[in-house]
Structure 1
């Protein structure tokens, strides 16, 4: 039996091997087109939009990986796409991972970065009065949680949130989410098994799963949150909680855009199908362009 640190190392090694072997969605996108700047959490990867002369608004991107895996590099080409297509600056955050940094470390790190940007964004040549946050899978959870924390703290004021096929109800065991069409889907079953391990590493005290910063979809009140784009995938065991979250946002009066991608599973924006992935990235870019460049604050 391996100890926790060895088990984590093996998971991360296999994840890196898989990432290096899979075909990337939108393979024509360039890589390494960022500049490195210093922020409150060390080095930040900053992507500036091409052809934008005025100070651009800024989007903080949070990668996926179950709170345990992944890093900024997996989202590098897509951050370049979002910067150019949305006309905003993008900061690609390499947030801290569990189990070394369990809940709520990454939520607070994200929130601290947003607060720092609101105060110091001009030093980076960005207009952080026009600020948005979003992420994919676990990163979507962190983005939604950071928006709740910003509301709780009275700022910074966010213009938009992107929640892309995120786990939003960590108080529910992943295997209990294997219902309906995904009950016997091999990919969903495998994701549930891995997700249970990752949730335990992220939430050493499982009672924290009931907290809104761990399970944003269970927040008692969602009123007053920024405009939100929620993306879910038809064949993802996390679809139902994402759909419920979108419904609760709308019921709370939050401007909500919700897209369900048919025939897709978890991670489709990075792993395909290509057509649906491209559509989702363009949807994210259009949402960011609208809330950051054309939508005046209420």
Structure 2
């Protein structure tokens, strides 16, 4: 578990009386792709099958921020086939990267160098996917943006991102693709917010509380539904 995520996870646990589990997956470059994804798949399959017996409640949500948003999206698509009788109540996908190939335009042209930029993203992805081509990185098992979603019953998803985040296009485009085939996607863009904003202390910028409130409203609606 990343200590920096503890406040957000505690907020979710306290606010909604949820049991929150954070997966400590293997990291690149020591463990390149697909180690991190397989760790998340193993944990998700176990929880989908055993959470109620183990923790007193079924697995309801998955989510993550940045790389975690990318992995959470892949987990949701993986479980459609791996555990076909399971369904999430919702996904919480904060400023994820859904195209790991040539990058969508916002990454290529983002010039603010605020938190992450094109060079940072390229270095991270080279470490995660060493020796792979652009075409190989478009494989849907790596880049969920290229997944064929036709006819799939996807869980409702909340996509959030700041306007100053180079991954903004990823959020908007993935949210639109989610909706194309009749699935529910809520896309929220926060003016002036950089990458990672939802993990900042409330009051740092207005978007932090707005993001927490929107996440809370989404969770509450899906729990009540």
TM-score after normalising by structure 2: 0.88
Task: Report the alpha carbon displacement of residue 176 of structure 1 after superposing the two structures with TM.
Answer: 7.5
Map 1:158-177 → 2, pairs under 5 A: 158-173=88-103, 177=107
Report what 1:216 is aligned to: 144
Of 257, 262, 266, the match for 2:191: 262
Task: Report the alpha carbon displacement of residue 175 of structure 1 after superposing the two structures with TM.
Answer: 8.5
CA root-mean-square deviation: 2.1
Q: Is the CA contact (8 Å cut-off) linking 2:45 and 2:82 kept in structure 1?
A: no
Bigger Cα displacement from structure 2, 104-113 vs 238-247: 104-113
Report what 1:126 is aligned to: 56
The CA distance in 2 between the partners of 1:277 and 1:211, in whole Å, is: 33
Q: Is the CA contact (8 Å cut-off) linking 2:193 and 2:205 kept in structure 1?
A: no
The CA distance in 1 between the partners of 2:137 and 2:4, in whole Å, is: 27
| 1:139 is aligned to 2:68 | yes
Task: Report the alpha carbon displacement of residue 186 of structure 1 after superposing the two structures with TM.
Answer: 2.7
Task: Report the alpha carbon displacement of residue 173 of structure 1 after superposing the two structures with TM.
Answer: 4.4
Gap runs ≥5 in structure 2:
none
Q: Is the CA contact (8 Å cut-off) linking 2:70 and 2:97 kept in structure 1?
A: yes
Residues 173 and 260 of structure 1: CA distance in aligned 2, closer, same or farther (over 3 Å): closer
| 1:148 is aligned to 2:74 | no
- Aligned-partner SS, 2:38: helix
The CA distance in 1 between the partners of 2:61 and 2:131, in whole Å, is: 30
- Aligned-partner SS, 1:206: coil
Report what 1:290 is aligned to: 221
Runs of 4+ in 1 over 6 A off after TM superposition: none
Q: Is the CA contact (8 Å cut-off) linking 1:249 and 1:256 kept in structure 2?
A: yes
| CA offset digits 1:111-166 (Å, max 9, x no partner) | 211111122223433312x4211000000000001111111324442221111011
Q: Is the CA contact (8 Å cut-off) linking 1:177 and 1:238 kept in structure 2?
A: yes
| 1:185 is aligned to 2:104 | no
Q: Is the CA contact (8 Å cut-off) linking 1:141 and 1:166 kept in structure 2?
A: yes
Task: Report the alpha carbon displacement of residue 81 of structure 1 after superposing the two structures with TM.
Answer: 0.5
Task: Report the alpha carbon displacement of residue 262 of structure 1 after superposing the two structures with TM.
Answer: 0.6
Aligned length in residues: 219
Report what 2:7 is aligned to: 77
The CA distance in 2 between the partners of 1:103 and 1:285, in whole Å, is: 32
Of 256, 279, 283, the match for 2:210: 279
